[in-house]
Amino acid sequence: MTIFEEMTTLALSTGAINLGQGFPDEDGPVEIKEAAQAAIAAGANQYAPGKGILPLREAIAVHQQRFYGLAPDPETEIIVTTGATEAIAASLLALVGPGDEVLTFEPFYDSYGAIIGLAGATHVTAPLLAPDFMPDPAALEAAFSARTKVVLINNPHNPTGAVFPREVLQRVVELAEKHDAVIITDEVYEHLTFGARHIPVATLPGAAERTLTISSAGKTFSFTGWKIGWLSGPEHLVAAARTVKQFLSYSSGTPFQTAIAVGLGLPDEFYTGIADTLRYKRDILSEGLRAAGLDVLTPQGTYFVNVDTSPLGITDSVELARRLPALVGVAAIPVPVFCHADGAERTRSLLRFAFCKQLHVLEEAAERLATLR
């Protein structure tokens, strides 16, 4: 069982407010739901083409042009996947094997470690250090080697909430060029930033020809259960991932693809609205966490906020996460589960809370957490 399932199960059995697994407790825009219902009613219920329906691939291309000035070819440079999870799996399984190294930051999203393991490759990490969770330049450089085949980055970053500035991303690109590594960049939280601007790696000089970009409708449109994601980049890299995708899922949910194509075309106000709402929610929960005596490490993006529990004299966040639902009625995720042994030691007192919940839920959680003091 993944840590997300474990904590969700614990929250359900104790009746705790679930700020563990990151999923919104409200549906996304009604016009997207109606588009899915209309597609089902109109009979879009059989296999979609393996690479995704053309209107969605076109909508992804238009979205990338509109927000970032990128122009991927919908025919050859984009595929639709069953969530970002499948895009991560298909691209890693296509590109790496035994003897290859994949470099990620640490903490890292749990599926990265699992898929690197399935591919038989070696997982090397460069630490992100609290409080701002930026990589140390020397440690980043030292983590590259002649065997680095892929550098897999995640920006905005789960679980830390870091949004990497241009200098950090440009350094990753330079090091990838120097070691002839492919960059896979997981940008599922691309629209969930609070002031810091999201810079897609693929827009940086020297990056486009070696970069696969991953995103997901789950995060932007609050339909995590639909599992529609996508992958874009140069034709040879996309084709390699597509070859693997054929045998993972073959194709992805047909009516949901039609609906997400509608979502990608929503006006700018939708996109600024989701970020503004989440920023407000971040601040409400952060205030509650501070009032509970916890040290809040303010995120610039994603819908996660981390706290350091050591001011309360608690140094084992894994143990605290297991006890917290019964103790105060709130569930969270311990950050060490996103790490190897050394990183787990460094993040021992960090706990991650999701704030993609309704305001009254966050207010209630804050009240419950206040009893921790």
Pick the closer one to ligand GLN by CB: 143 or 344.
344
Pick the closer one to ligand GLN by CB: 105 or 144.
105
Cβ-closest residue to ligand PMP? 83
Which DSSP symbol is given to 293? T
Q: Least distance in Å: CB of 306 to ligand GLN?
A: 12
Contacting ligand GLN (CB under 6 A), which of 18, 21, 213, 309? 21
Angle at 96 between CA 91 and CA 101, to 5 degrees: 120
Pick the closer one to ligand GLN by CB: 39 or 116.
116
Per CB under 6 A, residues contacting ligand PMP are: 22, 83-85, 109, 154, 158, 186, 188, 216, 218, 224, 227, 229
Task: Decide which of ligand GLN, ligand PMP, none touches 21; Cβ closer than 5 to 8 Å per partner kind.
Answer: ligand GLN
Q: Least distance in Å: CB of 205 to ligand PMP?
A: 25
Pick the closer one to ligand GLN by CB: 2 or 315.
2
Sign of CA dihedral 279, 281, 282, 286: positive
Q: Enumerate the β-bridge partners of residue 152.
A: 104, 184
Q: Least distance in Å: CB of 21 to ligand GLN?
A: 5
Tokens 């350094």 sit at which residue?
171
Q: Least distance in Å: CB of 314 to ligand PMP?
A: 25
| Residue ranges with strand state E in the chain | 17-18, 78-81, 101-106, 122-129, 134-135, 148-154, 182-186, 211-216, 229-232, 295-297, 304-308, 330-331, 333-334, 350-354
Q: Token pair for residue 83?
A: 């969530």
Contacting ligand GLN (CB under 6 A), which of 18, 22, 116, 300? 22
Nearest one of 285, 290, 335, 331 to 311, comparing CA atoms: 290
Q: Least distance in Å: CB of 281 to ligand PMP?
A: 17
Query: What part of residues 141-200 is at the interface with ligand GLN (CB under 6 A)?
Result: 158
Rounded-to-integer distance, Cα 318 and Cα 333, Å: 8
Q: Is 4 in the site for ligand GLN (CB under 6 A)?
A: yes
Helix, strand, coil percentages, rounded to 5, for the chain: 50, 15, 35
Pick the closer one to ligand GLN by CB: 22 or 343.
22
Task: Decide which of ligand GLN, ligand PMP, none touches 218; Cβ closer than 5 to 8 Å per partner kind.
Answer: ligand PMP
Task: Decide which of ligand GLN, ligand PMP, none touches 210; Cβ closer than 5 to 8 Å per partner kind.
Answer: none
Q: Token pair for residue 238?
A: 């996309």
Nearest one of 356, 333, 327 to 4, comparing CA atoms: 333
Pick the closer one to ligand PMP by CB: 72 or 253.
253
Q: Token pair for residue 18?
A: 């679930």
Rounded-to-integer distance, Cα 160 and Cα 129, Å: 10
Q: Is 104 in the site for ligand GLN (CB under 6 A)?
A: no
Q: Least distance in Å: CB of 104 to ligand PMP?
A: 11
| Three-state secondary structure string covering 28-42 | CCHHHHHHHHHHHHC
Q: Is 67 in the site for ligand GLN (CB under 6 A)?
A: no
Task: Decide which of ligand GLN, ligand PMP, none touches 336; Cβ closer than 5 to 8 Å per partner kind.
Answer: none
Q: Which residues make up the interface to ligand GLN (CB under 6 A)? A: 2, 4, 21-22, 158
